[in-house]
Structure 1
Amino acid sequence: MEDWQANQTARGPAPALYGLAKTSGTIPADPAPPHLRQLAEVLIESGALQRPALARRIGVSKQTVSELLSVLEQRGLVRVAGPLNGLPGRSSLSYALRPEAALALGFDIGGTKIAAALIDLRGTVLAETIEPTAHGDLDQLVGQLAGLATALTERAGAQRLHVQACTVGVPAAVNPATGILNLAANLPGLVAVDLHARLTAALGCPVAIENDVNLALLGEVAAGCGKGKSDIAFVALGTGVGAGLMVNGRLLRGATGGAGEIAYLPLPDHGTTERSLIQGHFETVVGEAGIREAFVRRGGAADLPVRAIFDAAAAGDARALETIDELAGHVALGIVSLIALIDPELVVLGGSVGARPELIERVRHQLATRFERPVPILASNTGARAGLAGALETARRHLLADLFGEE
């Protein structure tokens, strides 16, 4: 999407941000020369090329290509790959990107675990890990992410000074103007704190903080079933509930970053309780806790996890089947609300519950009875890795913009 870069969440005040970005000395102090981004994109996609071929690909003279390559060589971002066909002369030299010269980090913070990975300029994953989320205060979380960054770079045989961009996904609404978090029921220690400033200082590179479901949506647009789409709703159903919304190719955030917080949608057949006010009406019914409660209400075992309830439904258990049918009806109501508001061309269901094929089949049926226009409902192609995939791609795009200029 052409507006993806322009609509990423605020990465802090620009002067402080770009001051920290120059830790490795490779990010230019001056604006990128014209065509530098085009040249870099060609090298990223094509590997080693000669100057004449590069000139033809981006539509400029060989002299301009030479000047651009000189800029990249000075910054340590390209290397001479050697002459082709053994021919002498400058034009026979081929040039290749050094993808390891600048790296990016991605984190997907959940209520129970953190997924993290390190990538190079091409988006190749150099190291990846998952570990339990440290529950405590802000210091513990920041320390955990800094430790993960060190462990990933060491595992990849890289240097921390080459890490020049980071995107962090959080289960919360992120104010697009201030970066302050709110509506973080699963990580209450993050509410109203300046996580951006702390992480930027701890990681020593520019940091973008984004809602985790927004990142899942961006990951789906980049490499999943949302590729090429510009009006999409990504609905994540699992322990918690949320939605990422894209309208006309632009990520929808709202005044305080709360667009898509469908956990708080009221349901007409659901009474208000203290828990539903705090956690949200919709989430108390379609989140994992609500699914288990609905199963127990029908006489099911109280200690059965949601995964086992779906397995029981597949085996023909009447109580489990009724629970899943009821769940599908509630989910369909939530999706109808989104369709009525943003008119998406596609709704993607993800998360540990949302991507279950037996649920999606029932949601499609329920939706057909509740809304007159058919809207495709698909399972996320990126699965449980959607949030991390979105974080990595967003970090890489920020990195490319910092190094080579905007698209």
Structure 2
Amino acid sequence: MEDWQINQAPRERQRAVSGSAKARASDSPPRHLRQLVEVLIDSGALQRPALAKRVGVSKQTVSELLSVLEQRGLVQVAGPLNGLPGRSSLSYALRPDAALALGFDIGGTKIAAALVDLRGAVLAETVVPTAVGGLDQLVGQVVDLAETLARSAGVQRFRVQACAVGVPAAVNPATGILNLAANLPGLEAVDLHARLTKALNCPVSIENDVNLALLGEVASGSGQGKRDIAFVALGTGVGAGLMVNGRLLRGANGGAGEIAYLPLPDHRTTARSLAQGHFETIVGEAGIREAFARRGGAADVSVRAIFDLATAGDTRALQTIDELAGHVALGIVSLIALVDPELVVLGGSVGARPELIERVQAELAARFERPVPIVASNTGARAGLAGALEMARRQLMADLFGEE
């Protein structure tokens, strides 16, 4: 299993607070069980001889492994494929809905949530406004969403055995405590992990939302096959997820990648702006609108409209985007100098704009001697949720069937 797929320290903590997880930890899955399940996920119904060949074990071992899965209700006998009687003629298929996983991408204004089966197939998905009012309201909303998704999918919620939650905050990797959570009022320094684990009655992982967006890109987006990669999200706010040698880089307090606080020189640089996240004040949506207004543009125009004006040839809009690209390139140079990624993915409502990426590439070539590919996210606004679902499903697979 890749290092990024499971946050090991939180998993140990999850097992300490969850009785069912504790039981699974003490009853480690048999060897080759995970391989057998992966084969069933990829290939559908197969007979014992074919399974033995794919896994590289004897038919007797396959029979023993299938027996374990049958006892847990995780496989079903699909019947003889050739019409002949006998155990060897029986085919076996995974019951992908026997165990399920939840993913949540919690933002300051909305929550995206989905339910997936063992294969990663989405059974139900929804987006709702984020509840305001603090910890109790948010936990209650997450539980309600879990119930709603289970009903929509026509499954019992007790089948949910893993959950991953993305939040716009730094998450302490040892304690699960949130910090730098300005977009989630009332959640700074609270133990959201413990509350959700108890409320959902299953192991829960909590991760920074941009880190999860990075995982989504590595799993099914522009970053597939990469082990050293940076994901930079540019929109209302700014953040980055970093992967080094296949391992998600979190830092001592979960704050690795918080590029909003980069102290880039600018006419607006003050001690106050640095403390509040200076880089974000320049390249976030509010900073882009301010830069456009400074050039004589309308103060109430949206960032989308500014890009549209630039496409139409408006000089003020073009100058604004050129300036933005220079600032973004400086931020990316800082990341490259520190972690040396083989690829940079730009995402978010602003970052994924092709006209910005083209300019950033040109600025980067002028500022850094070694070219680093910069590409747009192809998971879009769903990147954080995709990463949460992948993390939750991987956690589920590891708990049920062992590590890869």
Report the TM-score range of the alignment, normalised by the length of the smaller protein: over 0.9
**Is 1:275–1:284's contact at 8 Å kept on the other side of the alignment?**
no
Deviation at 1:288, TM superposition (A): 0.7
**What CA distance in whole angstroms lies between the structure 2 residues aligned with 1:109 and 1:178?**
19
Report the equivalent of 1:106: 103
Could you tell me the TM-score, scaled by structure 1's length?
Answer: 0.96
Deviation at 1:278, TM superposition (A): 4.2
Question: What are structure 2's unaligned runs of at least 5 residues?
Answer: none
**What CA distance in whole angstroms lies between the structure 2 residues aligned with 1:239 and 1:292?**
11
Amino acid across the alignment from 2:178: L
**What CA distance in whole angstroms lies between the structure 1 residues aligned with 2:276 and 2:14?**
35
Amino acid across the alignment from 1:193: V
**Is 2:76–2:92's contact at 8 Å kept on the other side of the alignment?**
yes
Q: Secondary structure at the match of 1:80?
A: strand
Deviation at 1:11, TM superposition (A): 3.5
Report the equivalent of 1:385: 382
Deviation at 1:275, TM superposition (A): 5.4
Report the equivalent of 1:362: 359
**Which shifted more, 363-372 or 131-140?**
131-140
> Please, which of 282, 291, 295 is the counterpart of residue 292 of structure 2?
295
Q: Is residue 230 from structure 1 mapped to residue 227 from structure 2 by the alignment?
A: yes
**Is 2:73–2:98's contact at 8 Å kept on the other side of the alignment?**
yes
**Is 2:351–2:357's contact at 8 Å kept on the other side of the alignment?**
yes
- Which structure 2 residues correspond to residues 302-317 of structure 1 after superposition, within 5 A? 302-317=299-314
> Please, which of 152, 165, 173 is the counterpart of residue 170 of structure 2?
173
**What CA distance in whole angstroms lies between the structure 2 residues aligned with 1:47 and 1:392?**
22
Deviation at 1:276, TM superposition (A): 2.1
Q: Secondary structure at the match of 1:269?
A: coil
Q: Deviations over 1:26-81 (max 9, x none)?
A: x5851101101111111111100000000011111101100000000000000001
Deviation at 1:17, TM superposition (A): 4.0
Amino acid across the alignment from 1:176: P
Amino acid across the alignment from 2:133: G
Q: Secondary structure at the match of 1:369?
A: helix
Deviation at 1:2, TM superposition (A): 2.3
> Please, which of 371, 378, 381 is the counterpart of residue 374 of structure 1?
371
Report the equivalent of 2:13: 13
**Which shifted more, 6-15 or 155-164?**
6-15
Deviation at 1:185, TM superposition (A): 1.7
Deviation at 1:274, TM superposition (A): 6.4
Amino acid across the alignment from 1:186: N
Deviation at 1:310, TM superposition (A): 0.8
**What CA distance in whole angstroms lies between the structure 1 residues aligned with 2:8 and 2:269?**
35
**What CA distance in whole angstroms lies between the structure 2 residues aligned with 1:390 and 1:317?**
38
**What CA distance in whole angstroms lies between the structure 2 residues aligned with 1:15 and 1:154?**
27
**What CA distance in whole angstroms lies between the structure 2 residues aligned with 1:310 and 1:8?**
42
**What CA distance in whole angstroms lies between the structure 2 residues aligned with 1:20 and 1:169?**
23
> Please, which of 212, 216, 225 is the counterpart of residue 213 of structure 2?
216
**What CA distance in whole angstroms lies between the structure 2 residues aligned with 1:20 and 1:73?**
19
Report the equivalent of 1:243: 240
252 and 144 in structure 1: CA distance in 2 versus 1, 3 angstrom threshold: same
**Is 1:11–1:209's contact at 8 Å kept on the other side of the alignment?**
no
**Is 2:6–2:394's contact at 8 Å kept on the other side of the alignment?**
no
Deviation at 1:204, TM superposition (A): 1.2
- Which structure 2 residues correspond to residues 143-158 of structure 1 after superposition, within 5 A? 143-158=140-155
**Is 2:7–2:173's contact at 8 Å kept on the other side of the alignment?**
no
Percent identity, aligned pairs only, is 83
Q: Secondary structure at the match of 1:189?
A: coil
Amino acid across the alignment from 2:212: L
**What CA distance in whole angstroms lies between the structure 2 residues aligned with 1:314 and 1:9?**
48
Deviation at 1:21, TM superposition (A): 3.8
Deviation at 1:7, TM superposition (A): 4.1
Deviation at 1:270, TM superposition (A): 4.3
Q: Secondary structure at the match of 2:211?
A: helix
